[in-house]
Structure 1
Amino acid sequence: MSTPVSGAPAAGVNSGRFLRFWAAQSTSQLGQRFGLVALPVIAIETLHAGTSEVGYLTAALTVCYLLVGLPAGAWVDRRPKRAMMIRSAVVRALVLATIPALWAADRLSLGWLYGAAIVVGIASVFFDVAYQSYVPFIVPDEAIEPANARLEASAQVSAAGGPALAGLLLKVVSAPVVLVVDAVAYVVCASFLATVKDSEPHHANEKGERSRLAQDIRAGVQFVIGNPVLRRLCVSVGVSNFFATIVMTLTPLLILTELGLGTTMMGVVLGVGTLGGLVASATLPRIRARLSAGTVMAVGLLLAGLSMVAFPIAGSLKGASAALPVALLTLGQFGMTWSAVTFNITQVSVRQRTCPKDMLARMNASIRFVIWGSMPLAAILAGWLGSHLGVVACMWIGVVGSFLTALPIIGMDRLIQETTPSASAPLQNV
């Protein structure tokens, strides 16, 4: 077990600085869920977008990882991560506020929606890379997994409550107005972050000289490629995100167009189903006390694929009573989020403990470049295939592909033992 950096006193998950950071993340997550529900609804119902246009919108939100994913890691490693997160939150608030303003002036267009999504996505890249690299600077090593579990728990509470609340709000106000909640949440997030104290050393380079951006990027990529644990995780999560994105891109169309369930029911299905993630955050410590990290990750991926089967099956029940497809969608969403969160908490904690602190942002950026960079390609493919093959048929492709994601996890426990000195310690030292 390592000591806190920079001589800072031990600060676990009950310390004031972690609790304020947790509040910032929770507020941001709740607002973001409102935005994720509102944006496709704006495209479909306000701007009359079709299957391809919805795919382009999802691609616009995620293409940023291909555009700035790798440079973001190098920039974040050179600068204070807390300040980076504050700036990113403010940028997202300002950009999102333009959408309801333009809608009120009857000037909103799909082109602007795509552009706003790209800018918000770029700001999110910097926020997310800094966020995942920041945890080891506010808690000691033995508290990393408990901290990640708490952060993921609040994210899942937001994922459960956010869509449901957004769906109810959509019955009262138009979708563009819902984005005001998202913008305000980012302002509150920035305010909380401004009060957090951390132990991050603020210097550009351990050697005292500023290295070139390309060298920093290359160092991060080489570290991930050279580390067998990180390399396999990168492949596994990249493939998983690709096929999951195909299913998730078409889910609003499945619910709103194919099944005709309406926005309120979409919010309820996604919100209630996502309670699986909250259950996963609560049950993971007991699971990890009995099972190794590699086993937990493999089981999580396989169960996520199995849960996704419910989506195309529900879509094939078009014309039947709404109760059965709603039940299937909710059950599938519950199982998928339980499995994904169980996998994600474990793999993020393994990554954070495997990587030196001065390489965290570049490591996270390199991995996120692959796993998130695959998403716009999957979204565009989903839109194209959905238009030509149909929504349900395209979803089956995503389901079948998702079962491949556990293959790189085989033998992971041995590799973790070899590359992480504390891997054999109890639960808190994954």
Structure 2
Amino acid sequence: MRIPVPHSVVRLPAAFQRLAWSNLVAQSAEQISLAAAPLVAVFALSASARETGLLQTAQTLPFLLLSIPFGVWADRRSRRTLMALAEGMRVIAMLSVLLLVGLHGLTLLWLAALGCLGATGTVAYNVAAPSLVPSLVSRESYAVANGRLELARSAAYSAGPALGGMLVGWIGAGWAYGCAAGLSALAVALLAGLREPPRAQTGQRHFLRELRDGTRFVLRDALLRPMIATAVFFNLGFFMLQAVYVPYAVHRLGLTASAVGVTLGAYGVGMVCGALAAPSIAARIRFGRVLTIGPFCGLLASLVMVATLIVPSFWLAMLSFFLLGVGPILWVVGSTTLRQAITPDGMMGRVSAINSTATYGARPVGALLGAGVSGCWGMEVCLLVAAGAFFVQVFIIVGSAAARLDGVPEGG
């Protein structure tokens, strides 16, 4: 009988530590730029809620378009190289925004196009990093390693939006994008020193056949299907809310750029709290029930945001984003661990890519819906529709086989 090793004493290899640090600085770069973009659009370019929704759509479109090609790459070639090249694209995009700000030539179209280019780094990390973890750590350490990655991401989500808001509000957009470019460059340098374990060579491979096999595996699995469906509706609701939040917070809640950054930063604080609490929660509650905490917190968060329609409040908005972080981070750790446990190694990149395409691909769809709903019926209706999407994801996960799991299943 194997005695489980406590999370606090698990020692992860140096290669994984380098991956975790690169993940931290890359996610920080993403969060600073994502927070800065709608603030610049509203305060400097006088963008409407519809236009910020379209901006969010552009910045999340790579998740829909690139996840599957990146996933096939991750199964065929170096995952480290994929992440480094994609992060390098973000450096170029952020420096281009910085240059346009300096030349007073920044437009909403340029902001959207360069935001789209910069998001390629995030897509590569979301696809390749979970695929790389099983080759760097032992099976028994999957949950710990995923928790460390999510803790790093949580720290970035906590500090990034607040820092982005403060930089834009206090000293201008250029500093925010310059900071993001510097962090992305550091991520590339960290990845350059990561030694990726070699993988067994396979025969000739066909893109469409590999994609078909990966899709078939996901759709036939009784655990992965509801997990993906739940994540799809969560992201639809979250990005409908995100699409209109900045103009809603500025015009209806009366918040400044710095205050908006603080409320967005509460999301990351929630993620940090959830990530730190995850080991003790996982030790006390069965695995399936842990998977339901995130969806329920998402629904509660959306209802708190709806309450600001009646009681406009900085504190309620901050609480909403805190709840969006604290529960769903348990979902991310749990769902990633489940996917890694039951997916064969040779299919890990494709399954991660299909998961990213379906779930993160819902982000531009949600943002586009937010732009459309707010443009036709107003920001208030958009918040109500977003709450409806959060209700659907709770309904899906509660009725699924995944919610009844006692522990992490065997497989892969």
Sort the TM-score into its range (normalised by shorter chain): over 0.9
Q: Percent identity?
A: 23
Q: What whole-Å deviation, never above 9, does each CA across 1:262-315 have from its counterpart, x for those lacking one? A: 111011122235311111111111111122222111132112211221212224
Question: In the alignment, which residue of structure 2 is the partner of 1:120?
Answer: 118
Question: Is contact 2:57–2:363 with CA below 8 Å preserved after alignment?
Answer: yes
Question: Is contact 1:62–1:373 with CA below 8 Å preserved after alignment?
Answer: yes
| Structure 2 counterparts to residues 299-378 of structure 1, below 5 A | 299-318=293-312, 325-378=313-366
Alpha-carbon deviation of 1:167?
2.3
When residues 174 and 333 of structure 1 are mapped into structure 2, their CA distance, relative to the original with a 3 A threshold, is same
Q: Which whole-Å CA distance do the structure 2 matches of 1:107 and 1:202 have between them?
A: 50
Question: In the alignment, which residue of structure 1 is the partner of 2:384?
Answer: 396
Of 84, 87, 90 in structure 2, the residue corresponding to residue 86 of structure 1 is 84
Q: What whole-Å deviation, never above 9, does each CA across 1:88-132 have from its counterpart, x for those lacking one? A: 111111111101101211222222222112222334323321112
Question: In the alignment, which residue of structure 1 is the partner of 2:250?
Answer: 256
Alpha-carbon deviation of 1:150?
1.2
The SS at the match of 1:176 is: helix
Question: In the alignment, which residue of structure 2 is the partner of 1:139?
Answer: 137
When residues 417 and 213 of structure 1 are mapped into structure 2, their CA distance, relative to the original with a 3 A threshold, is farther
Q: What whole-Å deviation, never above 9, does each CA across 1:334-392 have from its counterpart, x for those lacking one? A: 12211111111111111111111111110011111111222212111111211222212
When residues 418 and 411 of structure 1 are mapped into structure 2, their CA distance, relative to the original with a 3 A threshold, is farther
Of 139, 148, 151 in structure 1, the residue corresponding to residue 149 of structure 2 is 151
Of 278, 283, 293 in structure 1, the residue corresponding to residue 287 of structure 2 is 293
Q: Which whole-Å CA distance do the structure 1 matches of 2:41 and 2:231 have between them?
A: 28
When residues 414 and 330 of structure 1 are mapped into structure 2, their CA distance, relative to the original with a 3 A threshold, is closer
Q: Which whole-Å CA distance do the structure 2 matches of 1:116 and 1:152 have between them?
A: 26
Alpha-carbon deviation of 1:416?
5.4
Q: Which whole-Å CA distance do the structure 2 matches of 1:108 and 1:141 have between them?
A: 48
When residues 356 and 160 of structure 1 are mapped into structure 2, their CA distance, relative to the original with a 3 A threshold, is same
Question: In the alignment, which residue of structure 2 is the partner of 1:408?
Answer: 396
Q: Which whole-Å CA distance do the structure 2 matches of 1:186 and 1:242 have between them?
A: 27
Of 151, 162, 179 in structure 1, the residue corresponding to residue 177 of structure 2 is 179
Q: Which whole-Å CA distance do the structure 1 matches of 2:403 and 2:176 have between them?
A: 48
Question: Is contact 2:232–2:360 with CA below 8 Å preserved after alignment?
Answer: yes
* Structure 2 unaligned spans of 5+: 3-9
Question: Is contact 2:227–2:402 with CA below 8 Å preserved after alignment?
Answer: no
Q: Which whole-Å CA distance do the structure 2 matches of 1:191 and 1:232 have between them?
A: 38
Question: Is contact 2:263–2:317 with CA below 8 Å preserved after alignment?
Answer: yes
Question: Is contact 1:44–1:50 with CA below 8 Å preserved after alignment?
Answer: yes
When residues 419 and 37 of structure 1 are mapped into structure 2, their CA distance, relative to the original with a 3 A threshold, is closer
Of 86, 93, 96 in structure 1, the residue corresponding to residue 94 of structure 2 is 96
Question: In the alignment, which residue of structure 1 is the partner of 2:47?
Answer: 49
Question: In the alignment, which residue of structure 1 is the partner of 2:15?
Answer: 17
Alpha-carbon deviation of 1:418?
11
Corresponding letter in the other structure for 1:421? E
Q: Which whole-Å CA distance do the structure 1 matches of 2:258 and 2:162 have between them?
A: 7
| Structure 2 counterparts to residues 227-306 of structure 1, below 5 A | 227-306=221-300
Q: Which whole-Å CA distance do the structure 1 matches of 2:210 and 2:14 have between them?
A: 33
Q: Which whole-Å CA distance do the structure 2 matches of 1:128 and 1:414 have between them?
A: 24
When residues 13 and 396 of structure 1 are mapped into structure 2, their CA distance, relative to the original with a 3 A threshold, is farther
Q: Which whole-Å CA distance do the structure 2 matches of 1:140 and 1:170 have between them?
A: 43
Off by >6 Å, runs of 4+ in structure 1: none
Question: In the alignment, which residue of structure 2 is the partner of 1:188?
Answer: 186
Question: In the alignment, which residue of structure 1 is the partner of 2:71?
Answer: 73
Alpha-carbon deviation of 1:13?
4.3
Report how many residues are paired: 405
The SS at the match of 2:119 is: helix
Deviates more, 1:235-244 or 1:307-316: 307-316
Alpha-carbon deviation of 1:395?
0.3
Q: Which whole-Å CA distance do the structure 1 matches of 2:304 and 2:406 have between them?
A: 36
* Structure 1 unaligned spans of 5+: 3-11, 319-324, 424-430
The SS at the match of 1:61 is: helix
Question: Is contact 1:55–1:249 with CA below 8 Å preserved after alignment?
Answer: yes
Q: Which whole-Å CA distance do the structure 1 matches of 2:61 and 2:31 have between them?
A: 19
Corresponding letter in the other structure for 1:18? F
Alpha-carbon deviation of 1:190?
0.9
Question: Is contact 1:23–1:192 with CA below 8 Å preserved after alignment?
Answer: yes
Alpha-carbon deviation of 1:199?
2.1
Q: What whole-Å deviation, never above 9, does each CA across 1:3-23 have from its counterpart, x for those lacking one? A: xxxxxxxxx643222221111
Question: Is contact 2:30–2:119 with CA below 8 Å preserved after alignment?
Answer: no
Q: Which whole-Å CA distance do the structure 2 matches of 1:386 and 1:175 have between them?
A: 26
- Structure 1 length-normalised TM: 0.89
The SS at the match of 1:259 is: coil
Question: Is contact 1:316–1:392 with CA below 8 Å preserved after alignment?
Answer: no
Question: In the alignment, which residue of structure 2 is the partner of 1:109?
Answer: 107
Question: Is contact 1:133–1:361 with CA below 8 Å preserved after alignment?
Answer: yes
Question: In the alignment, which residue of structure 2 is the partner of 1:9?
Answer: none
- Structure 2 length-normalised TM: 0.92
When residues 260 and 287 of structure 1 are mapped into structure 2, their CA distance, relative to the original with a 3 A threshold, is same
Q: Is residue 2:384 matched to residue 1:386?
A: no
Question: Is contact 2:293–2:330 with CA below 8 Å preserved after alignment?
Answer: no
The SS at the match of 2:394 is: helix
When residues 418 and 342 of structure 1 are mapped into structure 2, their CA distance, relative to the original with a 3 A threshold, is closer
Corresponding letter in the other structure for 2:331? F
